[in-house]
Amino acid sequence: MKILISLAGLEVSSKTVKSLADDSDFIIAADGGYLPLEKNNIQPNLIIGDFDSVSIENFSSSVEVIRHPREKDKSDGELAVELALMKNPRTIILTNALGLRPDQYLANLILTINHPGLVEIVDDNWIIKALTGPVDCYLQKLDSGKLISIFAWGKEITGLSLTGCKYSVNEINLYPGTRGLSNVIESSEIRISFQSGTALLFTEY
């Protein structure tokens, strides 16, 4: 199962949100994330949040609504992810997740890090995901000439190998910093492997 969660950040294009919705089995709107869905005539299966940015009266009676208090210890996005996890999905896509507030942007990035390989952020041009070692996988259906960046989160990534891009590496240790910024994709497929650590991947498409 693939679950799409629409958040209340910088809105992606109609083309992107419609494509993501068409490719999803279940759609959750997190509070104000309902608005970009409504603009594109996309009805979510469920809406969750404290509804500080959208009125509950706007929702169709056929949509399940879960309301939380405004004073809480988790963001609407995190509550939506926790709800999605209960459905044992293969992938959770967060969209409208970037921009507007830098603290919210970081909070959404942390959701990918807390659920590596499962939660991804997708906007009009980038896919963001985290991977935790040991890892040996392929990124496929890539566009040559686009960018890919990989950052070590928290501590070093050990034994990193990367092929299929301009700056390939073989079993290096990548430390938190900017060394992994702006690599160039040279193949439709990239292989990435490492022994330990958490990698935050930004892939342009």
Contact (Cβ atoms closer than 8 angstroms) between residue 48 and residue 83:
yes
Q: In this structure, are 198 and 120 located in the same domain?
A: no
* pLDDT-wise least confident of 52-56, 82-86, 167-171, 181-185: 52-56
Q: In this structure, are 108 and 160 located in the same domain?
A: no
**Which residues 6+ apart lie within 8 Å of 170 measured at CB?**
161
Q: Which domain holds residue 181?
A: 131-204
User: Into how many domains does the chain fold?
Assistant: 2
- Mean pLDDT, range 159-178, rounded to an integer: 97
**Residue 169, φ and ψ in degrees, nearest 5:** -135, 160
Which pLDDT band, with edges at 50, 70 and 90, does 47 fall under?
A: very high
pLDDT value, residue 60: 65
Q: In this structure, are 141 and 162 located in the same domain?
A: yes
* pLDDT-wise least confident of 31-35, 53-57, 144-148: 53-57
Within 10 angstroms of residue 15's Cβ, the number of other Cβ atoms is 10
pLDDT tens-place string over residues 8-22:
999 999 999 999 999
| CA atoms in the 13 A half-sphere facing the CB of 60 | 13
pLDDT value, residue 202: 98
Q: Which of 124, 146, 166 is the last residue of a domain?
A: 124
Q: In this structure, are 146 and 105 located in the same domain?
A: no
Helices 102-114 and 76-85: crossing angle, nearest 10°?
Answer: 20
Q: In this structure, are 76 and 107 located in the same domain?
A: yes
Q: In this structure, are 105 and 21 located in the same domain?
A: yes
Q: Is residue 86 scored above 70 in pLDDT?
A: yes
Q: In this structure, are 79 and 14 located in the same domain?
A: yes
Q: Which of 124, 154, 171 is the last residue of a domain?
A: 124
pLDDT value, residue 42: 96
Q: What is the value of pTM for the model shown?
A: 0.93
Q: In this structure, are 77 and 173 located in the same domain?
A: no
pLDDT tens-place string over residues 93-141:
999 999 889 999 999 999 999 999 999 999 999 999 999 999 999 999 9
Which own/partner pairs from 56-65 qualify as long-range (CB within 8 Å, at least 24 positions apart)?
A: 58/34, 59/34
Q: In this structure, are 98 and 28 located in the same domain?
A: yes
Q: What CATH code is carried by the domain that includes residue 178?
A: 2.60.120.320
Q: Is residue 56 scored above 70 in pLDDT?
A: no
Residue type, 66: I
pLDDT value, residue 88: 97
